[in-house]
Amino acid sequence: MANRIKMEVLKIATAGSVDDGKSTLIGRILYDTKSLTSDKLEAIERTSKQKGYDYLDFSLATDGLVAEREQGITIDVAHIYFSTAKKSYIIADTPGHVEYTRNMVTGASTSQAAIILIDARKGVIEQTNRHFFINNLLRIKEVVVAINKMDLVDFSEERYNEIKADFEKLMEKRDYADQKITFVPVSALKGDNVVNKSENTPWYKGETLLEHLEALDLAAVSNVGTPRFPVQYVIRPKTEEHHDFRGFAGKVYGGELSVGDEVVALPSQTRSKIKDIYVYDKKYKTASRRSSVTITLEDEINLSRGDMLVKANDLPTIEKQFTATISWMDSKPLAAGNKYVVQHGVNKVLAKVDQVHHKIAPDYSGVDAEAQSLGMNDIAEVSFRLNKPIFYDKFKNHRTNGSFILIDTQSNNTVGAGFIS
C-alpha cells in the first residue's frame, strides 16, 4: 500500500441567528485559507458589485439555492470543504432561524466541533441559548463561541467581556461538563482573528478561530465508548475459491476490535472469536472506530443484518423499551399511541409511543410537564415500546449506539432524532 499523507478530518457545525454573519464567516475562512478558486471568487466579486456593495459578499460562496440567494438566508444544511496542511475540514452550514432547529440538530449530529456565532452588538440572545442547548444535547465536545462584528463595536474589550460573562452564565445550565468552550472576538467581514491575528484587538491574547481548530487533537474531541459492531450486510460469495466464506460486513463503533477477541452475537448470545478482519483482500489485526470492515468468526454462527457483535465482557442493554430525548422534525405531531419505525444504526424495529413525559424548552427556560404531543422543532422526553428488543447504550456513554432516527410508517420520511436517556 502506498504511503498516504496522514491528515485528519474535522467536521464542524455552525450555528448563528439570521444576520449574525455565519455565511460570511465561512466565506472568510475559505478566502483567507485560499480555498476559493479564481472562478468562484470572480463570481463573488461580480455579484457583490452588481448589488452595489463596497465589500465582498462571501455569503454568496455558500448559499446554494435560488430561494436562499433571493432572501439572503440559508435554508438547508450545506457542506463546505477546505483543507490546510494539517487537517481537512467539513463545515456543516446550518440555518439559524427558529423554524429550522431540525437542520441544526442534523448538522450537529455528525460533527465533533461547533462554532456558535454571536453578534457583538446584540450579545447573548434567546437564539444563542438554543444553539448552545442543541450542542449540549448532541454532546459536541468542542465549542467555539465566535463573537462577531467586533468592528461595529469598535473592537471593545469591555463589550467582549460582557458577552463572555453572559455566555458563561448560560454554561452553568448545561449538563455536559466535558464540553470545552473557547471564546474568540472576530470580524468575519473584515477578517479579524478568523484566520489571521487582528491588530485591532491587542487585548486579545488567544488563538484565532482557525488556529484553534488547527490545534485540536482529533482523538481528544471524539467521544470514545466501547466497541459495537452492527452487522450491515452478510457476504457469502459461494464461489469455488471462497466456498465457505461467510463474512459479516459492517462499521466498527465506539472502540476497537481485534483478531482473537472473544465476542458475543446479539440477540442469540452465541459466543465466538474473531477469526479474520478484512478490508478488501487485505487482512488486518485490529479494526478501530469508524472503519468499514468484514469480519469472519471461528464458529459458524447465523447472523443477519441488524444483529450485533460485541465483546464478551461488555454487553449493551437489551430491551424492548426505552426512554429518549426526541428532537421532532415533522409537521405531523408525535403523540402517545403513534407508531413509527425506529432505525437504530442499521437495525429497524417497529415502535409505539408509550408516553410523552415532558417537553424541554430548548432555551433552558424549563420543562412543560403537561405536554401531550410534539410539534415541529419540539424537544421532549418520550418513552417507547418496541416489537422486538434492540441492543443499545445510553447516548451519554455512546454517541452512536445511543442514538436513532424515527421514520413515519406512511410517508417514509425521517421525522425525528432520538438520544437514549
Partner 1 sequence: MEVKELEVPVEIGENTAHINALENEAIYILREVAAQFEKPVLLFSGGKDSITLVRLAQKAFWPAKIPFPLMHIDTGHNFPETIEFRDRLVKELGLELIVRNVQDSIDQGKVKEESGRYSSRNSLQTTTLLDAIEEFKFDACIGGARRDEEKARAKERIFSVRDDFGQWDERNQRPELFDMLNGQIELGQNVRVFPISNWTELDVWSYIKDEGIEIPSIYFAHKRKTFLRDGMIWSAEDGIVFRDEDEVVEERMVRFRTVGDMSCTAAVLSDAISIDKVVAEIRDSSISERGARIDDKRSEAAMEKRKQQGYF
Q: Which residues pair with 263 in a beta bridge?
A: 272, 311
- Amino acid 273 reads K
- Which one, 64 or 123, has the nearer CB to partner 1? 64
C-alpha cell at 247: 463474512
Question: How far is Cα 128 from Cα 60, in angstroms, rounded to an integer?
Answer: 24
126 sits in which H/E element: helix 126-137
- Which one, 23 or 187, has the nearer CB to partner 1? 23
- Which one, 103 or 193, has the nearer CB to partner 1? 103
In this chain, which of 4, 177, 199, 337 binds partner 1, going by CB under 8 A? 4
Question: How far is Cα 107 from Cα 391, in angstroms, rounded to an integer?
Answer: 26
Pairing outcome for strands 339-344 and 373-374: unpaired
In this chain, which of 164, 174, 305, 339 binds partner 1, going by CB under 8 A? 305
C-alpha cell at 233: 450486510
Longest dimension (CA), the chain: 76
Shortest separation between residue 393's beta carbon and partner 1, angstroms: 14
Segment interacting with partner 1 (CB under 8 A) among 16-24, 171-179, 218-226, 362-370: 218-226
- Which one, 256 or 363, has the nearer CB to partner 1? 256
- Which one, 177 or 219, has the nearer CB to partner 1? 219
Shortest separation between residue 327's beta carbon and partner 1, angstroms: 9
Q: Which residues pair with 11 in a beta bridge?
A: 90
How many chain residues bind partner 1 (CB under 8 A)? 87
C-alpha cell at 184: 474568540
Cα-trace Rg, the chain: 24
Q: Which of residues 44-73 bind partner 1 (CB under 8 A)?
A: 47, 61-67, 69
Segment interacting with partner 1 (CB under 8 A) among 2-10, 125-133, 140-148, 161-169: 2-10
Segment interacting with partner 1 (CB under 8 A) among 3-11, 125-133, 142-150, 266-274: 3-11
Judge whether 402 and 395 are in contact, CB under 8 Å.
yes
In this chain, which of 45, 49, 53, 79 binds partner 1, going by CB under 8 A? 79
Instruction: Report how far apart, in Å, the C-alpha atoms of 113 and of each of 23, 179, 213 are.
Output: 17, 10, 9
Residue 4: partners with Cβ closer than 8 Å, 6 or more residues away? none
Shortest separation between residue 92's beta carbon and partner 1, angstroms: 10
- Which one, 22 or 149, has the nearer CB to partner 1? 22
- Which one, 279 or 312, has the nearer CB to partner 1? 279
* Residue 26 DSSP label: H
Residue 114 engages partner 1 in binding (rule: CB under 8 A): no
Question: How far is Cα 189 from Cα 19, in angstroms, rounded to an integer?
Answer: 12
Q: Which of residues 335-354 bind partner 1 (CB under 8 A)?
A: 341, 343, 345-346
Residue 156 engages partner 1 in binding (rule: CB under 8 A): no
Q: Which of residues 227-286 bind partner 1 (CB under 8 A)?
A: 232-233, 235-237, 239, 241-242, 245, 247, 249-252, 256, 278-286
Segment interacting with partner 1 (CB under 8 A) among 127-135, 158-166, 291-299, 354-362: 291-299
- Which one, 121 or 283, has the nearer CB to partner 1? 283
- Which one, 8 or 368, has the nearer CB to partner 1? 8
Give SS3 for 251: strand
In this chain, which of 12, 114, 287, 351 binds partner 1, going by CB under 8 A? 287
Q: What share of the chain is helix, strand, coil (3-state, %, to 5)?
A: 20, 35, 45
Per-residue interface string for the shown chain with partner 1, residues 18-47, x marking contact by CB under 8 A: -------------------xxxx------x
Closest CA to 121 of 20, 208, 199: 20
C-alpha cell at 285: 489485526
Instruction: Report how far apart, in Å, the C-alpha atoms of 238 and of each of 234, 242, 247, 299 are.
Output: 12, 6, 11, 18
Residue 183: partners with Cβ closer than 8 Å, 6 or more residues away? 144, 145, 147, 160, 164, 167, 206
Judge whether 44 and 10 are in contact, CB under 8 Å.
no
Per-residue interface string for the shown chain with partner 1, residues 81-110, x marking contact by CB under 8 A: x-x----x-x-----------xx-xx--xx
Judge whether 402 and 392 are in contact, CB under 8 Å.
yes
- Which one, 121 or 236, has the nearer CB to partner 1? 236
- Which one, 200 or 343, has the nearer CB to partner 1? 343
In this chain, which of 78, 118, 120, 210 binds partner 1, going by CB under 8 A? 78
Residue 291 engages partner 1 in binding (rule: CB under 8 A): yes
